[in-house]
Amino acid sequence: MSVVAGLAPRHPQQRRIKVLLAKPGLDGHDQGAKVVARAMMDAGFEVIYTGLRQTPEAVARMSLEEDVDVIALSSLAGSHLPFCRKLRTLLEANGLTDKLWLIGGNLPAQDHDELRSLGFRGVFPTGSKLDAIVDYIRAEVK
């Protein structure tokens, strides 16, 4: 293999982390989700943003079809626990338990333990630092 002076040989690019970011239920506020999506893209992640008002069935289907590494929810409407309970069942039924599940948004502290027990390992309440979210994903996705 020859190397042109001053140029390093090319190496195959490592596959980018692929994230599905969904807005569950009747939540109509997506400014925060868009800011998080932008931060993830700036970090080099491939981000699929679903848009507003997704059902658990749609999130599970898109996660499976897109073969994502991370399934992330942004919830501000207060229905995160019932949504996550239903989504967990669907993700398990579709063999998606090896994916990293995250949730962020308006999440009361008393709900964090239940969210984690449902399988949402990353819980990021309103005010979480974007770098903390990105760093967590990088550390958890192998």
Report percent pLDDT > 90 for the chain: 84
The H-or-E segment that residue 125 falls in is strand 122-125
The encoded tokens of residue 129 equal 């630092």
Chain segment 80-98, per-residue pLDDT in tens: 999 999 999 999 999 999 9
Q: Enter the CATH code of domain 20-60+68-140.
A: 3.40.50.280
Chain segment 21-68, per-residue pLDDT in tens: 999 988 888 999 999 999 999 999 999 999 999 999 999 999 999 999
Q: What pTM does this model have? A: 0.89
DSSP at 52: S
